[in-house]
Amino acid sequence: MDFTALLGALQSTDTAQIRAAEEQYEAFIKAQPLEFLQLACQTLSDPTNGRFMAVLLRKELVSGADTAYARCPAAHTSVQTCLLQALSTVTERAHLMQIGVAVANLMSTLCSPMEKEPDMRYWPAATQWIESNYQSANEVHRMVCYNIIQELSGILAGAMAKWPACKDIVVAGLNDSCAQVVEYSVTAACTLVLLVTDVAPVLFPPICLALTTSLTKQAWDLSAHIMQELAVIGEANGSLLRASVPQFLTILSQLVTNSTIIDSVRHVAVELVCVLCEGSPRKCRQSVNDVGTIIANGLVPMMADLDDDEQAWDSTVPEAWEESDDLQVAETALDRIAIALGGSALLPVIESIVGETRQHSSWKIRHTSATMLAIVAEGFNTAASMPQVRGMVAVPLSLKNDPHPRVRWAVCNALGQMSTDFQPRLQAKLHQEVVTCLIDLTKDTQSVRVRSHAGAALINFVEYIEPETLKPYVEAILQVLVTLMSSDSRLAQENALTCLAAVADTIGRQFGQYYQSFAPTLIGQLHAALANNTSGSSVHTPFAARLIEAITLIGLSVGGETFSQQFPEVIGMILTAWDQHHENPDDLLTKHILFGLGRLVKVDKMQFAQYFPRVMPILMQITNQEFIQIIDGNDDEADGENVISLGDLAIQINTPAIEEAEIGLSIMGTVLSSSPDAMMPFLEQAFKTWVTQSQAKMEAYVRMNATTCIASAPKAIMKSSMPDQQKASIIEGYINESLKAIVAVLNEEDSVEVMPVLCMAVVGFVKSMQSMQDKVPVPAARIMGELSDALITMSNTATAEMESEFEDMETDMPESVEDQATLADKHEQFFLCLDEIGDVLGSFFTVYGDQYLPIFQSVVKSTVDRWAMMQGPLGSRFRVAALSVLIELITHTSAEAATPAVQTYLPLITQCLATNSLPLAQTAVFCAGVIAERFPEAIKPHAPALASYCKARVESPDARDTEDSTLVTENCISATGRLLMACPDLIAPTFGGVQNAWQFYLTAAGSITHDEEEFKSTVDMLLALVQNKNFCSSPAILTSVLTPLVTLVFQSANYHKMASEEVLAEVGKSFQGLMANPGFMPVLQSVLASAEEWTRNNFTQTFQNQ
**Digit-coded pLDDT (tens) for 842-881:** 999 999 999 999 999 999 999 999 999 887 767 888 899 9
The 10 Å Cβ neighbour count of residue 437 is 21
Instruction: Give this prediction's pTM.
Output: 0.77
Q: What Rg value do the Cα atoms of the chain yield, rounded?
A: 36
Q: Give the phi and the psi of residue 652 in degrees, each rounded to 5.
A: -100, 120
Strand partners, 631: 650
Confidence class for position 791, pLDDT limits 50, 70, 90 = very high
Q: Mean pLDDT across the stretch 148-153? A: 94
Question: For residue 372, which of 324, 418, 307 has the smallest C-alpha distance?
Answer: 418
CA atoms within 13 A on the CB side of 868: 21
What pLDDT score was predicted for residue 784? 95
**Digit-coded pLDDT (tens) for 270-289:** 999 999 999 999 999 999 99
329 vs 350: CA distance, rounded Å: 18
What pLDDT score was predicted for residue 536? 47
224-228, 443-447, 771-775: the lowest-pLDDT one: 771-775
Question: For residue 370, which of 337, 406, 330 has the smallest C-alpha distance?
Answer: 406
- The residue extents of the domains of the chain are 1015-1106
What pLDDT score was predicted for residue 697? 78
Residue 450, classed as helix, strand or coil, is: helix
Q: Is the pLDDT of residue 636 over 80?
A: no
SS (H, E, C) 1041-1096: HHHHHHHHHHCHHHHCCCCCHHHHHHHHHHHHHHCCCCCHHHHHHHHHHHCCHHHH
Q: Is the pLDDT of residue 5 over 70?
A: yes
Confidence class for position 933, pLDDT limits 50, 70, 90 = very high
**Digit-coded pLDDT (tens) for 714-750:** 999 999 999 988 888 899 999 999 999 999 999 999 8
Q: Is the pLDDT of residue 381 over 70?
A: no
Mean pLDDT computed over every residue of the chain? 90
- Is the distance from CB of 402 to CB of 311 less than 8 angstroms? no
What pLDDT score was predicted for residue 641? 66
- Is the distance from CB of 793 to CB of 861 less than 8 angstroms? no
Q: Is the pLDDT of residue 334 over 60?
A: yes
Question: For residue 282, which of 318, 320, 241, 311 has the smallest C-alpha distance?
Answer: 241
**Digit-coded pLDDT (tens) for 546-561:** 999 999 999 999 999 9
251 vs 273: CA distance, rounded Å: 10
360 backbone φψ class: left, alpha, beta (φ>0; ψ -120 to 50):
beta
% of the chain beyond a pLDDT of 70: 95
Residue 629, classed as helix, strand or coil, is: strand
Q: Mean pLDDT across the stretch 217-245? A: 93
Q: Give the phi and the psi of residue 629 in degrees, each rounded to 5.
A: -140, 135
Give the CA distances from residue 744 to residues 739, 740, 928, in Å, rounded to whole numbers and listed in that order: 9, 6, 37
What pLDDT score was predicted for residue 648? 67
What pLDDT score was predicted for residue 651? 82
What pLDDT score was predicted for residue 746? 94
Q: How many angstroms separate the first and last alpha carbons of the chain?
A: 108
% of the chain beyond a pLDDT of 90: 67
358 vs 369: CA distance, rounded Å: 5
What pLDDT score was predicted for residue 817? 60
Question: For residue 817, which of 234, 233, 282, 231 has the smallest C-alpha distance?
Answer: 282
- Is the distance from CB of 277 to CB of 336 less than 8 angstroms? yes
Q: Is the pLDDT of residue 52 over 80?
A: yes
Confidence class for position 806, pLDDT limits 50, 70, 90 = low
Amino acid (one-letter) located at 819: D
185 vs 207: CA distance, rounded Å: 9
Give the CA distances from residue 579 to residues 528, 535, 679, 1094, in Å, rounded to whole numbers and listed in that order: 17, 10, 22, 49
* Number of residues assigned to the chain: 1106
**Digit-coded pLDDT (tens) for 946-969:** 999 999 999 999 898 888 899 999
What pLDDT score was predicted for residue 1063? 86
Residue 651, classed as helix, strand or coil, is: strand
**Digit-coded pLDDT (tens) for 30-39:** 999 999 999 9
Q: What angle do CA 710, 711, 713 make, to 5 degrees?
A: 65
What pLDDT score was predicted for residue 650? 77
Question: For residue 593, which of 651, 645, 667 has the smallest C-alpha distance?
Answer: 667
Question: For residue 835, which of 778, 757, 767 has the smallest C-alpha distance?
Answer: 757
Q: Is the pLDDT of residue 659 over 70?
A: yes
Q: Is the pLDDT of residue 402 over 50?
A: yes
**Digit-coded pLDDT (tens) for 513-540:** 999 999 999 999 999 988 886 544 555 6
Query: 445: Cβ–Cβ under 8 A, 6 or more apart, which residues?
Result: none
- Long-range CB contact pairs, 839-842, < 8 A, 24+: 839/759, 839/763, 839/884, 840/759, 840/762, 840/763, 840/766, 840/787, 840/791, 841/788, 841/791, 841/885, 841/888, 842/884, 842/885, 842/887, 842/888, 842/889
Q: Is the pLDDT of residue 993 over 70?
A: yes
What pLDDT score was predicted for residue 172? 97
Query: 587: Cβ–Cβ under 8 A, 6 or more apart, which residues?
Result: 538, 541, 581
- Is the distance from CB of 1001 to CB of 977 less than 8 angstroms? yes
**Digit-coded pLDDT (tens) for 67-112:** 999 999 999 999 999 999 999 999 999 999 999 999 999 999 999 8
